[in-house]
Chain A
Amino acid sequence: MDHRPQAWGRPRDDVYGAYDASYLQTSGPKTATQSPVVTGTSVIAIKFRDGVVMAADNLASYGSLARFTDVKRLRPFLSTSVVGFGGDVSDMQFLDRHLTELAIDESYEHEHSENPAKSQLNAANLHKYLSKLMYRRRNDFDPLWNQILVAGFDSSSKPFLASVDLRGTTFTSPSLASGFGAMLAQPIMRRYAATEEDAARLSREEAVNVVKECMKVLFYRDARSLDRYSIAVVTKDGVELSEDEQLEKQSWAFAERIRGYGTQTV
């Protein structure tokens, strides 16, 4: 009898011959984290008069499989900013842990300061931090496979919204959308906030309605999306995050008019 537990329950070499382990070896270098695996789809956000609205659905897909249907992709930071993640979910979770640590350090650092809200990291600072982190990782050829939106306020207390992606590319705009949202939601949001001036005239209610409408359009047309989503509103009073919203007033009437796919013969 073979006394080594790792041999138990396996074909015996003296009966079957040694297993050709080369079948299990992938030759060549390590390929882990070089492509996304479990992914989140679009994140969308729009600025308004006194803050920013952001939304993302609660789905984490495994390829075309809707794998996890209750994944929170919006994350508040120090209750003054919101970070929204698209792309690889494990990289999102890594960043989430990292940001939690950062937030705790920040809170201790400024525990006794007169005005903690002023001295702590604001959304603009946080975005700069994340962009440096992402750019560093791309330089190391070990990217975090995400597109991230950061919403909150800058140092002059104006609404702030900016994006950073896996290559460290950063940009800002009155409205932003990642992934499919860049094609489907961004044109709708730009109708309401083409410029900073337009965004500054938008009320909170209008902004929330535009975002909800965009989430609906995304659910209609993005096959990797879900009708359950999270929505966050950042204002000077803090972050209001609702993580279990349901799409309302869907109308699939348009689907009947679509020809050329499926089983119709016309």
Chain B
Amino acid sequence: MAMFSQNPLVNGPNYSISDMPRVNAPEGAREHRFDPYTDNGGSTLAIAGADFTVMAGDTRLTSGYSINSRHHPKLFKIGGTTADQKDATIVLSVVGFAADGEALKERLDAICKMYRYRHGKPMSVKACAQRLSTILYQKRFFPYYAYAILGGLDEEGKGAVYSYDPVGSYEREQCRAGGAAASLIMPFLDNQVNFKNQYIPHSGEGHALLERERRPLARHEVETLVKDAFDGAVERHIEVGDGLQMMIITKEGIEEVLLPLKKD
């Protein structure tokens, strides 16, 4: 009886090495010990002026304590007709996980090119901004780990800056810092661009104290501000440094500037 009970046709295989399929794991399931994300450091910054927008980012690429590259741009011209993007009007900055940033840039650029091809006109910043939000939200449950800022000129020719979180929440702002040193740069910007906590001396006591009048900054002022902000960030954050890439968007086109930062 015992011998016949080994019949595989009746009871199934019961030897020490079993070919039994695993039943306790769902089909195609995998254990995910692999972490698909890293942080590649770096910082970005954008300030909108009356008739221009300045975008900036450092050019260091890190992983952990290592510097992978001293020249890795975070600013990209978007939606030009050629590979060198010389007729582009929009700039995207990405910081966070570099591979996702690159993928995001290529998606947005391809979409802007398709828009131009289909409609015979370049995409407006407003439309591009909404589309970027959609792209990010489409990957809501496996997000692009990238903090994006989009800059350009709006329909009236005024500077426009749109800032995003990794899943696509966005708003138009006067200025925004992103990435590793965002928490160092943003308060400086609040004070220097939006004149927060600046009062006219001896203008009154307590609540009667008058705020300093807000005015749009000139282009040269903004450029100095950006350089100062990054020089400050470089001193206090190890993932920021090497080079400062700046793009100034005006109605004449996009000007690119490269300045040195501390390499330590």
Contacts and interface: CB of A to CB of B under 8 A. Distances in A.
Name which of B5, B8, B36, B70 has the most chain A CB atoms within 10 A of its CB: B36
A29 interface: yes
Interface stretch (A12-20, A60-68, A223-231): A12-20
A30 B30 contact: yes
Contact of A34 (B14, B34, B97): B34
Contacts of A167: 36-38, 97, 99
Interface string B58-76: 0001010010111110000
A10 B6 CA distance: 13
Nearest to B68: A171
A141 B34 contact: yes
Contacts, number: 109
A135 interface: yes
Interface string B17-49: 110101011100111111011101000000000
Interface on chain A toward B: helix, strand, loop, or mixed SS?
loop
A167 B37 CA distance: 7
Contact of A30 (B3, B18, B31, B71): B31
B2 A35 contact: no
A11 B16 contact: yes
Given A10-B15, A28-B31, A169 B6 contact: no
Contact of B34 (A7, A29, A143): A143
B95 to A, nearest CB: 13
Contacts of A6: 13, 15, 17
A90 B99 CA distance: 24
B47 to A, nearest CB: 27
A10 B16 contact: yes
A169 B15 contact: no
Given A7-B15, A29-B25, A138-B99, A173 B68 contact: yes
Contacts of A79: none
Contacts of A27: 24-25
A173 B18 contact: no
A28 B36 contact: no
A257 interface: no
Interface residues of A, number: 38
A172 interface: yes
A2 B99 contact: no
Contacts of B68: 163, 169, 171, 173, 182
Given A13-B14, A163-B68, A172-B69, A141 B29 contact: no
Contact of A4 (B5, B8, B24, B31): B8
B98 interface: yes
Contacts of B2: 13-14
A107 interface: no
B102 A141 contact: no
B99 A135 contact: yes
28 contacts: A6-B15, A6-B17, A7-B6, A10-B17, A11-B16, A13-B5, A13-B6, A21-B20, A25-B24, A29-B31, A30-B29, A30-B30, A30-B31, A31-B33, A35-B33, A35-B34, A143-B36, A163-B68, A167-B37, A167-B97, A168-B102, A169-B98, A171-B61, A171-B68, A171-B69, A171-B72, A172-B71, A173-B69
Interface of A: 2, 4, 6-7, 10-11, 13-14, 18-19, 21, 24-25, 27-31, 34-35, 131, 135, 138-139, 141-143, 163, 167-173, 182-183, 186
Interface of B: 2-3, 5-6, 8, 13-18, 20, 22, 24-26, 29-34, 36-38, 40, 61, 63, 66, 68-72, 97-99, 102-103, 142
Given A138-B36, A171-B72, 15 more contacts: A2-B6, A13-B5, A14-B2, A14-B5, A21-B14, A25-B22, A28-B31, A142-B30, A143-B36, A167-B37, A169-B38, A171-B68, A171-B69, A173-B69, A173-B71
